[in-house]
Amino acid sequence: MTPEEADALVELAGEYVLGTLSWERRQDVESRLPHELLLAAQVARWESRLQPLADTVAPLAPSGQLWRRVSGSISVARQSVWRRWWGDIRFWRLTCGALTCAAVLLAVTLQVKVSTPALPPRFVVVLVSPVDKSPGWLVQVSADRKLRLIPLKTEPRQSDKALQLWTKAEGWSGPVSLGLLRVGEPVEVDLDNLPPLQPNQLFEITLEPPQGSPIDRPTGPILSIGRAVAT
């Protein structure tokens, strides 16, 4: 990816998070997110950067006059659309088909909900360089308590050093090592021995001796760092 393409991807992710894209472009971005890890990483990065700003803004209740204007506009639009659909035979065919599919889907959903417990939330972490803020790794934690670490760029290998992944949540006495990494290779880590993941939980990758840190703390420089965001 060229620097221009990378900049365009960052800008697109920012506009998506801010909500300034047109409906068509927003739908296009949403369809790309499950398959384009770099785009998903940039979206998660923008969300983690902007959410603290959103939390500082107090909710503002709309005035009564504004609500009346919105309600009137919606009523007019609904009446116009409804008259057009009411006389269209395709609308009734689609309605019948949709109701049939909905009934089948509801039956399957109810069966699944009865047989399976509720799943905990999922989290994503974009680990960025503390120097230039470029994304280096994408962390995905799914409901099965599996952490998947995906490299987003190529880093130089150092034969006399190793990469070590750490995490620390609020209230912990110190960071916990999640193991050593291989440069440029994805890895999966089982989190069953750790407490449930928390929003804003810290993750970082440090440069350590070949066998890892000799103590239960990072000893080398931080290469990538980020915090967990619920998805």
pLDDT of 116: 44
* Higher local confidence (pLDDT), 16 or 56: 16
* Higher local confidence (pLDDT), 219 or 114: 219
Question: ∠ at Cα 164 (161, 168), nearest 5°?
Answer: 150
pLDDT band per the 50, 70, 90 thresholds, residue 89: low
In a domain, 167, yes or no: yes
In a domain, 65, yes or no: no
> Which of 114, 136, 160 marks a domain boundary?
114
* Higher local confidence (pLDDT), 142 or 74: 142
End-to-end alpha carbon distance in the chain: 26
In a domain, 60, yes or no: no
Q: 129 with 220, same domain?
A: yes
Average pLDDT over residues 87-95: 59
pLDDT of 168: 93
pTM of the model: 0.52
pLDDT of 59: 64
- What mean pLDDT value characterizes the chain? 78
Residue 86 has pLDDT above 80, yes or no: no
Q: 103 with 148, same domain?
A: no
Number of domains in the chain: 3
Q: Which of 129, 150, 134 is nearest to 206 (CA)?
A: 129
Q: 127 with 106, same domain?
A: no
Q: 222 with 150, same domain?
A: yes
Residues shown for the chain: 231
Residue 209 has pLDDT above 90, yes or no: yes
Q: Which domain holds residue 173?
A: 121-230
Q: What are phi and psi of 116, to 5 degrees?
A: -125, 140
pLDDT band per the 50, 70, 90 thresholds, residue 118: very low
* Higher local confidence (pLDDT), 201 or 193: 201
pLDDT tens for each residue of 138-196? 888 888 888 888 888 777 777 789 999 999 999 898 999 999 998 888 889 888 888 88
pLDDT band per the 50, 70, 90 thresholds, residue 79: low
Q: 125 with 217, same domain?
A: yes
In a domain, 220, yes or no: yes
Residue 103 has pLDDT above 60, yes or no: no
Q: 156 with 208, same domain?
A: yes
Q: 85 with 41, same domain?
A: no
Cβ proximity of 163 and 210 under 8 Å: no
What's the token pair of residue 113?
């909900």
pLDDT band per the 50, 70, 90 thresholds, residue 122: confident
> Which of 73, 90, 114 marks a domain boundary?
114
Q: 216 with 142, same domain?
A: yes
Q: Token match 């490299």: residue?
A: 151
Percentage of residues in the chain with pLDDT exceeding 70? 70
In a domain, 74, yes or no: no
In a domain, 191, yes or no: yes
- Residue 135 burial by Cβ neighbours in a 10 Å radius (0-12, 13-18, 19+): buried
pLDDT tens for each residue of 4-45? 777 788 888 888 887 888 888 889 988 888 888 888 888 887
pLDDT of 110: 53
Q: 127 with 97, same domain?
A: no
In a domain, 58, yes or no: no
Give the CATH number, domain containing residue 213. 2.60.40
* Calpha distance 175→205 (Å, rounded): 11
Q: 26 with 92, same domain?
A: no
Q: 98 with 132, same domain?
A: no
What's the token pair of residue 203?
């993750």
Q: 20 with 42, same domain?
A: yes
